[in-house]
Amino acid sequence: GAVVSQHPSRVICKSGTSVKIECRSLDFQATTMFWYRQFPKQSLMLMATSNEGSKATYEQGVEKDKFLINHASLTLSTLTVTSAHPEDSSFYICSARENRDGNYNSPLHFGNGTRLTVT
Amino acid sequence: SQQGEEDPQALSIQEGENATMNCSYKTSINNLQWYRQNSGRGLVHLILIRSNEREKHSGRLRVTLDTSKKSSSLLITASRAADTASYFCATSQGGSEKLVFGKGMKLTVNP
């Protein structure tokens, strides 16, 4: 089955530093990847849609200068949390849909998430 | 914005029993999907039902969709302790590739 690898799984950083999270599709190509944020015992909130070779599309209320997304290839998208603060502490999850599956009538494949703690 | 709403929010049952989770949504959809999340992990896709389908089966899972009531249900039969997880419904709307997730439901299956 399609596998999405997300790294790191856990990171602790100091306030003011930046953290990069990688999301790779291991055995398929993905023009589009999605970044979600999840607070404890809550649902997933879509942050942005990452598009290979073009700018990401951010959801309303998500600061694009704070959460930098780069989708440089068909198998890799990165999310960089810049100048992180304690309120950015959360669980970040990426997902991707196989290109061959076409548009929306296909499932998303999720990474295992990154637990970010900003001290 | 979050659209789906699962009901109940939490369910605790004994192994062997059936578990039913309901999901309601507000707008027209292309499809509705159910996902499972183990604690601290990513989501795993369980089943997708298209808007023109009414029922779908996959192993011990049975999903129904009632577009007139804008609701879906997920039935897990003969539950196992390993089914303990959070379950989310998600909808695909319009021409968008995005999925909008519901609030999730915590299922605990006691051995």
Burial class of residue A38 (count of CB atoms within 10 Å of its CB; 0-12, 13-18, 19+): buried
pLDDT tens digit sequence for B41-82: 999 999 999 999 999 999 999 999 999 999 999 999 999 999
A44, A97, A111 ranked by CB distance to B97: nearest: A97
C-alpha span between A3 and B63 (Å, rounded):
25
Give the chain A residue whose CA is nearest to the CA of B38: A112
Q: Is the pLDDT of residue A86 over 60?
A: yes
Angle at A17 between CA A76 and CA A61, to 5 degrees: 70
A to B CB pairs, distance under 8 Å: 65
Residue A54's pLDDT is what? 87
Placement of tokens 């790191």 in the chain: A8
What SS3 class is residue A100? helix
Give the chain B residue whose CA is nearest to the CA of A9: B41
Cβ-defined contact of A106 to B101 (cutoff 8 Å) = no
pLDDT tens digit sequence for B19-45: 999 999 998 999 999 999 999 899 999
Ranges of beta strands (E only) in chain A are 4-7, 10-13, 19-25, 32-38, 44-51, 57-58, 67-73, 76-81, 90-96, 109-110, 114-118
Higher pLDDT, B3 or A118: A118
Angle at A109 between CA A104 and CA A113, to 5 degrees: 130
